[in-house]
Structure 1
Amino acid sequence: MTAQTTTSATFEQDVLKADGPVLVDFWAEWCGPCRMVSPVLDEIQSENSDKITVMKLNVDENPDLAMKYQITSIPAMKVFQNGEVATTIIGAKPKQALEQDLAEYLA
């Protein structure tokens, strides 16, 4: 199971109304570090699909959400829980570092 795509049209249903924690990866096609972190997030999703949902949001295609959540540099990952931002992670990191940042959701 890999990360799914969300958009302005589906964000409320996919993320804000989701049952468990949802990590949203704010990314863009032209962003090298975003492409580096993408397979890592896919791994985290497939290994922890029962605990967390990983969604990808293209900031170029959904500028309204990028602005709403004050995305100024990418990759930026935000974990939403109960419709609120619970955790923010900025920048590409190795898998182990991301898992540490997400430890409370993966336990």
Structure 2
Amino acid sequence: MTVTLKDFYADWCGPCKTQDPILEELEEEWGDRVEFEKIDVDENQDVANEYQVRSIPTIVVENDEGIVERFVGVTQADKLEDAFEQAGA
């Protein structure tokens, strides 16, 4: 089972900068079980549209079966870890 975290962000987004250190810490802990992808919505509008991203930061946790959970706004590590476990990481 592949578990992926997609982080939709933009360089000009203040809350995205708040989210970054949380994700970096999670990547150190979970990097061997979860793939982390950063997706700049300005450069990847097609992907953002595909995931119906309307505001950022948006974080999507998915596995081979599809989206397990999505978070809009700054999300704390414990909520993301719960989603990783739910996704089978």
For normalisation by structure 2, the TM-score amounts to 0.84
Following superposition of structure 1 onto structure 2, how do residues 2-81 of structure 1 map, counting pairs within 5 Å? 20-81=2-63
Aligned-residue RMSD, C-alpha: 2.0
Q: Which runs of 5+ in 2 are unaligned?
A: none
Q: Distance in 1 between matches of 2:68 and 2:33?
A: 15
Structure 1 spans left out of the alignment, 5+ residues: 1-18
Contact persistence 1:37–1:93 (CA under 8 A): yes
The number of aligned residues is 89
- 1:96 has 2:78 as partner: yes
The reply to whether residue 85 of structure 1 matches residue 67 of structure 2 is yes
Q: CA separation of 1:86/1:106 partners in 2, compared to 1, >3 Å: closer, same or farther?
A: closer
Instruction: State the percentage of identical aligned residues.
Output: 35
Q: Whose relative contact order is higher, 1 or 2, with alpha carbons under 8 Å and at least 6 apart?
A: 2
Structure 1 moving runs of 4+ over 3 Å: 100-103
